[in-house]
Amino acid sequence: MPGTESMAALLRVEKISKRFGGIAALNDVSLVIESGEIHGLIGPNGAGKTTLFNIITGLYTPTHGNLDFKCCSLLGMKPHQVLKLGIARTFQNIRLFANMTALENVMVGRHARSHAGMLGAVIRNAATRAEEAAIQRRSRELLELVGIDRHRHALAKHLSYGDQRRLEIARALATDPALLALDEPAAGMNPTERETLKDLIVSLRDRLGLSLLVIEHDVKFIMAMCDHISVLNFGEKIADGTPQQVRNSPAVIEAYLGAEVA
Amino acid sequence: MSLLAIQHLSVSYGNIQAVSRADFTVDEGERVCLIGANGAGKTTLLKAIAGMLPVAHGAIHFAGQSITRLASHQIVHLGLALVPEGRGIFSRLSVQENLAMGAYIRRDKAAVQQETNEIYQRFPRLGERRNQPAGQLSGGEQQMLAIGRALLSRPRLLLLDEPSMGLAPLMVKTIFETIADVAERGVSVLLVEQNARLALATCERGLVMERGEIALQGAAATLAQDATIQRAYFGV
Amino acid sequence: MDIFVQQIINGLVLGSVYALVALGYTMVYGILELINFAHGEVTMIGAMVSLTVISALVGVGVDLPGVVIVLLGLLAAIPVCMGVGFTIERLAYRPLRNAPRLAPLITAIGVSIVLQNIAMLIWGRQYISFPPILPQGRHQILGATITDVQIAILVASVVLMLGLTLMVKKSRLGRAMRATAQSPQIAGLMGVNANTVISLTFILGSALAAVAGVMVSAYYGLAHYYMGFLLGLKAFSAAVLGGIGNLAGAVLGGLLLGVIESLGAGYIGGLTGGVLGSNYQDVFAFFILILVLMFRPSGLLGERVGERA
Amino acid sequence: MNQKSRHAWLVFVALGIGLALLPFLVDAGLGRSWVRILDLALLYVMLALGLNIVVGYAGLLDLGYIAFYAVGAYCYALLASPMFGLHLPFWVLLPLGALVAGLFGVLLGTPTLRLRGDYLAIVTLGFGEIIRIFLNNLNAPINITNGPQGVNQIDPISIAGLSLGKTQVLFGVTFSSPHLYYYLFLILTLVVIFVSMRLQDSRIGRAWAAIREDEVAAEAMGINVRNIKLLAFAMGASFGGLAGGLFAGFQGFISPESFNLMESIMILCMIVLGGMGNIPGVILGAVLLTVLPEALRYIGDLQRAWLGHVVIDPSDLRMLLFGFALILMMLFRPAGLLPSRQRKRELSAAGDIAEQEQASVYDARH
Amino acid sequence: MKITFVNGLLAAVMATLLLGACGRQDGAAKDGEVIKIGSVSPLTGPQAHLGKDNENGARLAVDEINAAGLVIGGKKMHIDLISEDDQADPKIATTVAQKLVDNGVVGVIGHLNSGATIPASTIYHSAGIPQISPSATAIAYTAQGYNTAFRVMTNDEQQGHVLGQYAVTKLGDKKIAIIDDRTAYGQGLADEFAKAAQAAGADIVAREYTTDRSTDFMAILTSIKAKSPDLVFFGGMDPQAGPLTKQLKQLGINAQVLGGDGMQTPEYIKLAGADAEGEIASNPGLTLDSMPGGKAFKDKFTARFGQIQNYAPYAYDAVYVLVDAMKRANSTDPAKYLPALKTTDYQGVTGHIRFDQKGDVTGGAVTLYQVKNGAWQPLETVQSK
């Protein structure tokens, strides 16, 4: 599925607004994520980035607007349904299953792509055993891909910070997404660690043909990696374009970057 | 004589040693930054100094007094304040109440009122939202609140744990200006920061932590020129 | 019409009793997120101690007005309950501060059983009756009857709630309590000794329990070593209904639960054409409770814990 | 067969023989009442394992669990007693009881899906009470449950014409009724243990663990939180329903007072005390809390043996000591007597670096 | 995994074996042959005060008999009273019953509640051990066809019938409200009362319910007030009856309160205070004071245990009835003295005790009492059917 229809719209966000009580968190935001691109989402704190994220992944329902993913509208879908369609995510404040092992975390990610039910679990027939083995195999592969296979039996909460971020990505990948949404994946990492992460993200696109949506504050990090960047400020989109276009946008400089960075 | 003196300090969680044999000082009026990779033990070190974690070995002296075995609520009284990682504001309390908590140990109401007003002048956004729950502030505003709150305990030494974490570039700039300003007024600063370049630019002296140990220390300017450091922490 | 007014009054008085006990639950919950299952038992101890003192005073023939004697009983009960509350927290809860969440629940149940049985050893298995020394004045409101004791209970719960709210909202200690509730570590950085604040919360909650215990036994005229269980359960439901951890919520929840029970007992028969009777009053009360929580999962005045991603 | 697995087999066989002989040993050493206590302990093991699915696996605090026990018991009692003149066989009644209880689990679980922690606890508590009140009052206008009088003369379980309610001589060995029930309960307990183990280590078990750890993340990983929660409620409830049916047949008489809130609380105590989520722990907790109050009956005899006479009436002390035991066990083993693998680690490395370093990184942000 | 299960279990078993071993030497030092009689009632929980009362009644009888010297079949006998706590829990009741059987008791006085008595009776029956309940009133108890089940208390039907008739014919109250506490006892009595009262021509204007834990009855009483009944019948125990009477007066309801044996206690007067004045309740049997030995029993009991709660005299009589049967049968073997028990004809402090086919006390009288000047005064004694 990935990469075949290059440069076709994968996710179309149309005039999304979201209000909490009386406060508008998002106002008429539209953007398009193409198949196979890394799309950056930046903006000052409180600009509505995470809110948009939560709307795309089904955690919030927008007040107005529409979302189209591949063929269908995502409106009214629950997170688990959105995931089933192929959008997976990570969380700003890492949300792993802290008391499960790294391997178990990734195996949970395979839930939506496997079927064994109650009866299978109890009688453990051939089909269930085969499925279980496949889940394990795939999970190991993903742990290897993100480079933490050696920690597979450690509890998630015992992993180092960087490894937790990587595990979260592996868990999301286990759901076979077409679009992977990363919420501040580099937060709390030093430049060297960021560099490694950037390589991983780029390789996900290049090797697996994934599309990615990334929120990040580190301008250097995001500019170096993204094909396309959207900028939010006070709930509105103030810029949209290639990294170069965005970097030179006066509105972005004023609201976000500050004069000397640009 | 140094304001803060750390001698052979070790801190453990269970059987994992997070900080081992750290030695350093912070002088009166000095700005010192602590840089290092994730999990190097920086936050642990700050927490141990502030009395939030028990010390396994070694000693901590502050203003000539041993605070090695004191609890955090006792240490505040001596003039040491920590702005914790993640800011640690009381999100359900109002902005005003958060500041009042900062002055919890003080009884001089008039002066507290005076200083609170100064903070509102310095950060007008806080003044505008003084009756709102602090949880409704944006990340940058919360960081300002956390710093303002710490200042209200009238610290001689301010410990800051990653004040730029998760903030937009413009906001990072504002926060660091504030830190510099605070130091100008004679408050000593010990700063933990991921953004090593910025940290070394703000401080006079730098400490580099690796795997729980202080691997290197020296003048900030010298460290900033160090090729190894540039490679490891500047991402060049 | 006067029947309806009477039912509302009945409910409000019953609800004030729930509210008084619920306040103690909610205070402790607010700071520790712990259901202090032994709180009902502390109420029972309060009732028992005050009754012992009151009976002794009446027994030796002290010539004082009834109200004064009851107040003396209350004065004796409050410090005892404070001591009990302090001890419970110190011995059964504090060591488990960092243990898995349900561990203190089990010690709370253990404490509850222990307190009941100690009370049984001290005061025996009998019901103890309250000497009839309080003024028995009755008043008519809109065709309904209300007594002096009922008025006193209503007033006391409102006054205590207002006082507590004021204390928690405005005072230095109250602010420290709320800060500790959110994060004991950060509060420590501000100079707050979290252990002291938590102890004080238990002590304050237990003093409230003593007041509630005295009122309950004075109103119903009896006390028994087993009385704390049901009272505690109802008060806990009330606290949850109002939004546990919220003082005004505890009182609102208490009053509402009282009124619901009262109206349920009074009108279920009529509403269901006689198919269900007052034997279903608790079903009715729980049903409303469940309904409320379905639409407001954090109780009526509870903070909406918005899901953050 | 290598050395190790041979060793395991030996243990297994010894265990089987031990469990088979247990009622006779206990009968000879302590008296038949202890065989009854064993029977009850096995019922509580089933109940505790059922509640463990809801609380231990899925992390849903349920204080009304006893309702499902009641549903199973009444299912059996009403269909195998003079009450309606029906006398269905046990192999219809036990699955039926489990099924009906499971349905009730789904029914009662549905409105609680959005609730968390203590709010969930109070709602489930309410449901438990509602069921008990209905059972207690459905004797009018139509008599369905016989109200507070309870249902009497319930048929004992009878397998292939062999009534477990009477003393039987099989293969030349005399089995009293409690002995016979012991073997039936033991077999079913082993089945329940087996099912519990298999479920824990399965796709469904992982999904339960995931919602226990973090519901939002679980949903974001494609787990249908609603269904998986209801599955936990239904599964736990059906274990309860099964145990309830057995209880009705064993006891011959049931009334609503056997299904009060305190019972729910005691079952919760069993799993927390034993070690939540860990099957051996839960079993130990159930056995301990059934046996302990009965063992404490001997304090009078102990006093007589050691002090020559009874100083304090045992009935005054029994529950007091029980309360103290609960507190002390929890203080010394806060994660339970046999904590689960994960909880044990959770405690031993109470603050590991990664966690401490980031514990509060983002929590203040919205 | 199962290893730990067994280890835990074995540890528990070992502990109890040790304890049990210690416990098996009781009574060795006493002179004469020892026979064991069991006494079971709730000694913890909300009904503990009544349970302890039963035990005390039985203990008084046993001590008297031992002091007087008991000779059966030419041998000197010593009775050991083994008291157990059933917590008013049906499940614990069966365990405890089995424990008494294991212990070799030859007869049992108990249990207190019908809910505990009924399941336990199956165990006594299969062991062939006679059981006399001093207080269980549910009809179902003796309707099971067990030849070992007896009671010295009138059942709900007998007492309810007397009360229903009395309310209508003697008190002349036609508009009647009924409250019960939804326990087996309260509901059973109230239902039988309702039947009898209706048969006598009364109009049941209200049927309300409470629980055996409640202390607040304002809501149901307010509903009742709207129906302005002449009489309010309460099926339940004194802890509810007391405050209920108080609240009834407080609401200004002008009706006679009537109750059964659960209300005819000194506790009721204490709890209701001055409001108890004039209210009526029944208790099976004749008045204690009018019985031979009744006054003496009361004095002895009060001196030793304090106030009689309720059923102590019945427990006391039950012990004597058991021993009387043994004496007549000249044996302490349950199988041998059980037939003698059936033909009991014994004058106790609660009345003249004879059993019918089912084991119910026959021809038992029911006495009605009224509170006058703060004390229960007998009104009249009625023969039950």
pLDDT digits (tens, 9 = 90+) for B156-186: 999 999 898 878 888 888 899 999 999 998 9
Q: In what order do the strands lie in the sheet with B213-219?
A: B80-83, B157-161, B188-192, B31-36, B205-210, B213-219
* Average pLDDT over every residue of D221-248: 96
- Listed by number, the residues of chain D in 208-237 with a beta carbon closer than 8 Å to a beta carbon of chain A are 209-210, 213-214, 216-225, 231, 235
Q: Which of A152, A175, A198 is the last residue of a domain?
A: A175
User: CA nearest D288: which of D322, D319, D260, D263?
Assistant: D322
Number of domains in chain A: 2
Structure tokens at B124: 């007008």
Nearest neighbour of B44 by CB, restricted to D356, D361, D366: D356
The residue among B101, B107, B147 with the most chain C CBs within 10 A of its CB, best to mutate, is: B101
| Per-residue model confidence (pLDDT) at position C306 | 38
DSSP label at C38?
T
User: Which residues does chain E have within 8 Å of residue C122's beta carbon, measured at their own beta carbons?
Assistant: none
Number of domains in chain E: 2
| Per-residue model confidence (pLDDT) at position A7 | 55
Report whether pLDDT(E140) > 60: yes
Structure tokens at A237: 């989109």
Q: Are strands E352-353 and E346-347 parallel, antiparallel or unpaired?
A: antiparallel
Beta partners for residue E178, in sequence order: E207, E233
**CA nearest to D196 within chain A:** A122
Q: Which of A144, A175, A206 is the last residue of a domain?
A: A175
Question: Length of chain B in residues, anyone?
Answer: 236
| Per-residue model confidence (pLDDT) at position E27 | 41
- How does residue E175 score in pLDDT terms, banded at 50, 70 and 90? very high
Partner B contacted by C189 (CB < 8 A) = yes
**Distance (Å, rounded) from C-alpha A233 to C-alpha A244?**
19
Size of interface A-D (CB pairs under 8 A): 137
In a domain, D191, yes or no: yes
> A256 with B169: CB under 8 angstroms?
yes
| Per-residue model confidence (pLDDT) at position C99 | 83
Alpha-helix residue ranges (DSSP H) falling in E168-293: 184-199, 218-226, 238-250, 266-272
| Neighbors of chain C with 3 or more C-beta pairs under 8 Å | A, B, D, E
Mean pLDDT of all residues belonging to chain D: 87
- Which residue range(s) make up the domain with E258? 157-284+367-383
Partner C contacted by E273 (CB < 8 A) = yes
Same-domain pairing of E373 and E249: yes
First and final CA of chain D: distance in angstroms?
59
Longest dimension (CA), chain E: 72
- Listed by number, the residues of chain B in 101-140 with a beta carbon closer than 8 Å to a beta carbon of chain A are 138-140
Report whether pLDDT(D363) > 50: no
Alpha-helix residue ranges (DSSP H) falling in E273-333: 294-305, 312-329
Report whether pLDDT(E283) > 50: yes
Structure tokens at E169: 């014919």
- How does residue C304 score in pLDDT terms, banded at 50, 70 and 90? low
In a domain, C165, yes or no: yes
E204: how many CB neighbours lie within 10 A of its CB? 16
Element (H, E) at E180: strand E175-180
pLDDT tens for each residue of C114-135: 999 999 999 988 888 888 888 8
Task: Say if the Cβ atoms of A184 and B166 lie within 8 Å.
Answer: yes
| Per-residue model confidence (pLDDT) at position D220 | 92
pLDDT tens for each residue of D295-316: 888 887 787 778 777 777 777 7
User: Which residues does chain C have within 8 Å of residue A53's beta carbon, measured at their own beta carbons?
Assistant: 309
Partner C contacted by A85 (CB < 8 A) = no
Partner A contacted by C309 (CB < 8 A) = yes
Same-domain pairing of E146 and E170: no
Of D296 and D44, the structure prediction assigns the larger pLDDT to D44
Half-sphere exposure for E163 (CA within 13 Å, toward CB): 36
Report whether pLDDT(E7) > 80: no
Size of interface A-B (CB pairs under 8 A): 66
In a domain, A91, yes or no: no
| Per-residue model confidence (pLDDT) at position B236 | 54
| Per-residue model confidence (pLDDT) at position D347 | 44
Number of domains in chain C: 1
- The lowest-confidence range among A219-223, B80-84, B147-151, E182-186 is A219-223
- Which residue range(s) make up the domain with A220? 6-86+177-262
Same-domain pairing of A188 and A214: yes
Report whether pLDDT(E273) > 50: yes
pLDDT tens for each residue of D252-267: 999 998 998 889 989 9
**CA nearest to B192 within chain A:** A188
Partner C contacted by E182 (CB < 8 A) = yes
Report whether pLDDT(B70) > 90: yes
**CA nearest to A162 within chain B:** B38
* Average pLDDT over every residue of B17-24: 89
Task: Say if the Cβ atoms of A187 and B165 lie within 8 Å.
Answer: yes
- The lowest-confidence range among B110-114, B143-147, C195-199, D122-126 is D122-126
pLDDT tens for each residue of E68-97: 999 998 889 999 999 999 988 888 999 999
In a domain, D57, yes or no: yes
| Per-residue model confidence (pLDDT) at position B15 | 66
Partner A contacted by B167 (CB < 8 A) = yes
Task: Say if the Cβ atoms of C145 and E252 lie within 8 Å.
Answer: yes
- The lowest-confidence range among D13-27, D110-124, D351-365 is D351-365
Task: Say if the Cβ atoms of E20 and D30 lie within 8 Å.
Answer: yes
- How does residue B139 score in pLDDT terms, banded at 50, 70 and 90? confident
Partner B contacted by C218 (CB < 8 A) = no
First and final CA of chain A: distance in angstroms?
38
How many Å lie between the alpha carbon of C248 and the closest alpha carbon of chain B?
16
| Neighbors of chain D with 3 or more C-beta pairs under 8 Å | A, B, C, E
How many Å lie between the alpha carbon of A55 and the closest alpha carbon of chain C?
11
Task: Return the ∠ at Cα C5 (arms to C248 and C66), rounded to 5°.
Answer: 70
Task: Say if the Cβ atoms of E17 and D253 lie within 8 Å.
Answer: no
Partner C contacted by E309 (CB < 8 A) = yes
* Residue D124 belongs to domain with CATH number: 1.10.3470
- How does residue D350 score in pLDDT terms, banded at 50, 70 and 90? very low
Q: What 3-state DSSP class applies to B23? A: strand
Contacts of B133 (CB under 8 A, 6+ apart): B91, B92, B93, B94
Partner D contacted by E354 (CB < 8 A) = no
Same-domain pairing of E62 and E135: yes
Alpha-helix residue ranges (DSSP H) falling in C135-276: 148-170, 172-182, 184-189, 194-220, 227-242, 247-271
**CA nearest to E11 within chain D:** D288
How many Å lie between the alpha carbon of D59 and the closest alpha carbon of chain E?
22
Same-domain pairing of E223 and E141: no
Partner D contacted by E138 (CB < 8 A) = yes
pLDDT tens for each residue of C229-285: 889 989 989 998 998 888 889 999 999 999 999 998 888 887 887 788 888 988 988
**Distance (Å, rounded) from C-alpha C1 to C-alpha B219?**
86
The residue among A41, A184, A190 with the most chain B CBs within 10 A of its CB, best to mutate, is: A190
Q: What 3-state DSSP class applies to A2? A: coil
* Residue E142 belongs to domain with CATH number: 3.40.50.2300
Partner B contacted by C188 (CB < 8 A) = yes
Task: Say if the Cβ atoms of A118 and D235 lie within 8 Å.
Answer: yes
- Which residue range(s) make up the domain with C169? 19-232
One-letter amino acid identity for A235? G
User: Which residues does chain C have within 8 Å of residue E46's beta carbon, measured at their own beta carbons?
Assistant: 224, 226
Half-sphere exposure for C121 (CA within 13 Å, toward CB): 15
Task: Say if the Cβ atoms of D221 and A158 lie within 8 Å.
Answer: no
Mean pLDDT of all residues belonging to chain E: 88
Partner B contacted by C283 (CB < 8 A) = no
> C46 with C212: CB under 8 angstroms?
yes
- How does residue E8 score in pLDDT terms, banded at 50, 70 and 90? very low
Partner A contacted by C307 (CB < 8 A) = yes
Same-domain pairing of A73 and A101: no
Report whether pLDDT(E185) > 50: yes
Per-residue confidence in pLDDT tens, chain A, 262 aa: 344 444 578 999 999 999 887 778 899 999 999 999 999 999 887 788 889 999 999 989 999 999 999 878 999 899 999 999 999 999 988 899 998 999 999 999 999 999 888 888 998 999 999 999 999 999 999 999 998 999 999 989 888 878 898 999 999 999 999 999 999 888 777 777 888 889 999 999 998 889 999 998 888 888 899 999 999 988 899 999 999 999 888 888 888 877 544 3
User: CA nearest E265: which of E375, E108, E140?
Assistant: E375
In a domain, E3, yes or no: no
Nearest neighbour of B104 by CB, restricted to C185, C190, C303: C190
For C92, phi then psi, to 5°, come to -105, -25
User: CA nearest D178: which of D245, D244, D249, D243?
Assistant: D249
**Distance (Å, rounded) from C-alpha A62 to C-alpha A50?**
13
| Per-residue model confidence (pLDDT) at position D352 | 39
**CA nearest to B101 within chain C:** C190
Nearest neighbour of D343 by CB, restricted to C100, C279, C297: C100
